[in-house]
Structure formats: structure tokens, C-alpha cells
Amino acid sequence: MSIKPTLWISRKLPTAVVERAAKSFEVLQFEDDVPRSSETVIEMSGKAEGFLACNSEKFTADVVLQLDPRLKIIANYSVGYDHCDVPALTAHGITVTNTPEVLSEATAETAMLLLLGAARRAVEGDKLVRTGQWDSWSPSFMVGKQVSGARLGIVGMGRIGQVMARMARGFGMEIHYYNRSRLSPEKEQGAIYHSSVEDLLPTADFLSLHCPATAETTNLMSSERFALMPDGSVLVNTARGAVVDEQALMTALDSGKLAAAGLDVFQVEPGGNSKLAAYDNVFMLPHIGSATFETRNAMGFRALDNLEAFFSGKEPGDKVT
């Protein structure tokens, strides 16, 4: 009888995912569902060959140096892996995988929710009704920004960006995009390519960010770049909080350069930014872009696909480098 590899699952995952994991692995889990400290991560590396981890677990270079040689693979329950020092992990002989594709639809849905909510003043309207302050109507009451027929700029035309573009076409939006490389005509579907972010921004009545967080994209949306956008434009971010300079964002909102913003991600998570919470024209969600039952199951199954491939001696399909 073959011995199953041991797998540590760091957070509470859907029942179907855990049940499938138990068929291939000896599963270790804690009863509580909280972010795990570096000390816990290091300790568990001596008890399992594989981790099914989340972005709440940080694999910094310092942590990696202290990981036990028993650990061979970290299968991330996310498409983003900016919480992993991949070069350090690779040098330590640890494979890293992620879960692309399966969360594209759900995340793009969240981006459209934020776009519509920011444009049509959802925070203000909800507050008026909930607090009993809605006591009048006039033609100038709660007038927002129309989405239909507007120009949408997309930064990062990968899987999620392409789904966002497809959804936006349903509103008759004109799609403009910046990507590191231009898409094929079949993938562009009529979208207009811009060779730089600076060239894209003046066209963006709405701007939706779908790029990864890297050293190059940290504070991508700075004061200088906000200044390039049309007056009264709207920012949407479902990528990573690091790509937006939040102080510059507030300055742009204060000046009217931006009419509104829709944010699912923040520089500090969990918690967000208490200063942004004071803005009624900022529609905020607590990093739930992929939070549908279908997607959360699919993410777990994708991570298990990678783990099962690795422990059967195959190259995981979603290995990151």
C-alpha cells in the first residue's frame, strides 16, 4: 500500500475540495480559520510535503530560508502569487502553482458591479434609503455617470481583462486596452490597443485594472497618471491594492478629476483604508472578487490538479516561475 503525501490546508475551504483532497493526501487542517503566522507556516513545513495555501500566508525570503526540506510544493488557492517570493522558493527547491482561468468570470462580474455601483452612486443611494433620509425627488437628484456607450480602458488584457471587455460590450462600451503585448485580432474583438499606459489613460472614461502586482506595477496609478485621465472619470480596481497609490487616489477624488472609484482590493488587507471609507463616491468590497460557490470550488479543484500532478511525477499545469 502506497503512503499518501501529507498536505496542509491553511484555511477553511469548501467541503467538496477537502473531501477530494482526502482521497489523495493525508490532510492536516486547523479548526479555526485565520491567517497563519510565519511561525506556523515554518512549523507546518516540517509536517507536510505540500501546502494548499492562500494569500494570507506570506512566503517571504526570510520565511523561505527557515522552511523544512520536507516541503516540496505550495499550491496557491489564488491566481495572484505576490505573497510568494518565487525566486527564493525555487532556489529552495519548492514548486509554486496558482489557479488561473477558473476565477476570471467571477472577478470580472465583481469589476462590473464596482463599475456600475461607482458610476451610479450606489453608496450614497443605499445610505439615503437605509437611514430614512430619502424624502424628496427632483431632476437633479442623484445624477450619476452613464456607462452605456462610454469608453472603458483596461490595464492588463489577460483572462480577466478579456472577460471584462466581453461583459462591457454588452453595455455598448468602446474598449481600449494596454497590455505588455498586443492581442491577436480574434482576442481583441475590436478593442483598441495602446502601447503604453500613458497613451491609454486619456481615452478612459472608466478605467479597470487587471494587472498583477509586481515591482513594475506598484503604485502604477500615481498622481501623474491620474492627471492624464478625463475629468470626471471612474477607477475600478479588482487586481491588487499595491497597483494604486491610495493617497493619490484620494487627491484625485477631492479635486474632481475622478468622479468615483470602485475598489475590491487595498494596500492593507484585511482592513482596507479608513480614510477612503469617508468617501461616499467610493464603492468598496472586502476582496471578494472570486467569491462565488462555483468559483471557490473550481479554485480548490485546480490547486488539487496541480498537487496531484506534482506527486505523480508530472509537471503541474499551473507552475509559476
| 37 grid coordinates | 503566522
Active site residue 240: yes
DSSP letter at 6? E
pLDDT digits (tens, 9 = 90+) for 153-193: 999 999 999 999 999 999 999 999 999 999 999 999 999 99
pLDDT at 138: 96
Rounded mean pLDDT, 100-112: 96
Q: Is residue 319 part of a domain?
A: no
Q: Is residue 247 part of a domain?
A: yes
pLDDT digits (tens, 9 = 90+) for 237-257: 999 999 999 999 999 999 999
Rounded mean pLDDT, 146-152: 98
Rounded mean pLDDT, 188-202: 98
Beta strands in the chain (DSSP E): 6-9, 26-28, 50-53, 73-76, 95-97, 151-155, 174-178, 192-194, 206-209, 233-237, 258-263, 282-284
Question: Residue 309: left if φ>0, alpha if ψ -120 to 50, beta else—which one?
Answer: alpha
CB 175 within 8 A of CB 191: yes
| Pair 78, 194 in one domain | no
| Percent of the chain clearing pLDDT 70 (strictly above) | 99
pLDDT digits (tens, 9 = 90+) for 39-58: 999 999 999 999 999 999 99
Is residue 1 scored above 90 in pLDDT?
A: no
Residue 38 CB-density burial (10 A; 0-12 exposed, 13-18 middle, 19+ buried): middle
| Pair 155, 178 in one domain | yes
Q: What is the chain's Cα-based Rg?
A: 21
Active site residue 151: no
pLDDT at 2: 64
pLDDT at 52: 98
| Pair 143, 77 in one domain | no
Buried b (16+ CB within 10 A) or exposed e, 194-229: beebeebbebbbbbbbbbbbeeebeebbeeebbebb
Beta strands in 128-257 (DSSP E): 151-155, 174-178, 192-194, 206-209, 233-237
| Pair 136, 226 in one domain | yes
| Pair 130, 203 in one domain | yes
| Predicted model pTM | 0.91
Amino acid letter, 191: A
Catalytic one among 240, 246, 296, 308?
A: 240
Q: Is residue 196 part of a domain?
A: yes
- Between the alpha carbon of residue 90 and those of residues 39, 94, 321, the distances in Å are 20, 5, 8
Rounded mean pLDDT, 222-245: 98
| Pair 249, 185 in one domain | yes
* CATH number, domain with residue 220: 3.40.50.720
Which residues fall within 8 angstroms of residue 117, CB to CB, at 6 or more apart?
A: 123, 262, 283
- Mean pLDDT, the chain, integer: 97
| Pair 38, 51 in one domain | yes
Phi, psi of 174, deg, nearest 5: -90, 125
| Pair 174, 274 in one domain | yes
pLDDT at 264: 98
Secondary structure tally for the chain: helices H, strands E: 12, 12
Q: Is residue 316 part of a domain?
A: no
Catalytic one among 176, 194, 287, 302?
A: 287
* Structural domain boundaries, residue 236: 104-284
CA 38 to chain CA centroid, nearest Å: 23
Catalytic one among 26, 124, 188, 269?
A: 269
Active site residue 287: yes
CB 237 within 8 A of CB 209: yes
Give the Cβ contact number of residue 101 at 10 Å. Answer: 14
pLDDT at 320: 96
